[in-house]
Homo-oligomer: A and B are copies of this chain.
């Protein structure tokens, strides 16, 4: 109930892998293998990230995905918003449609504050930090079954 959707989780982990590949094009298939997500589902999530301006896609031979901007200029808030829609953190905690600033619900004060805190945290958290954390933990391309050297070699501009 409290937490991100699995779609957002896939997105964050996949982008963390992407960051480790620098500017090279990486296949959705390799990202899926790396984070253990189903390829067709991840494809749709990546597609939403394209729409949100988080990643770029290139079709056809030697295509794939790469970050639209450097990882330290991509926030987790932005990533989640691209996947789940811009309103993922708005709304009443009790789900009341009538709850507004004028006619607030009994948990409004508490939730308004928490919501703002969470939003701020997610905006301050950059993909670079997430990726660095994952890399230090020995995850990402380093430790998955994907052959990193081959992926990077293949992703280079011809």
What is the interface of chain A, defined by CB distance below 8 A to chain B? 1-6, 8-9, 12-13, 16, 76, 84, 88-89, 91-96, 103-104, 106-107, 110-111, 114-115, 117-118, 121-122, 125, 129-131, 133-134, 137
Contacts and interface: CB of A to CB of B under 8 A. Distances in A.
A92 B2 CA distance: 10
A114 B121 contact: yes
B133 A88 contact: no
A3 B133 CA distance: 28
Given A76-B107, A107-B12, A117-B114, A95 B1 contact: no
Given A94-B4, A95-B9, A130 B107 contact: yes
A35 to B, nearest CB: 10
B4 A106 contact: no
A115 B2 contact: yes
Contacts of A12: 94, 106-107
A56 to B, nearest CB: 23
Contact of A88 (B1, B13, B89, B103): B1
27 contacts: A1-B84, A1-B88, A2-B2, A2-B3, A2-B88, A2-B115, A2-B118, A3-B92, A3-B93, A4-B95, A8-B94, A9-B94, A9-B95, A9-B96, A12-B107, A13-B106, A103-B137, A104-B137, A106-B129, A106-B131, A106-B133, A110-B121, A110-B122, A110-B125, A114-B114, A114-B121, A117-B117
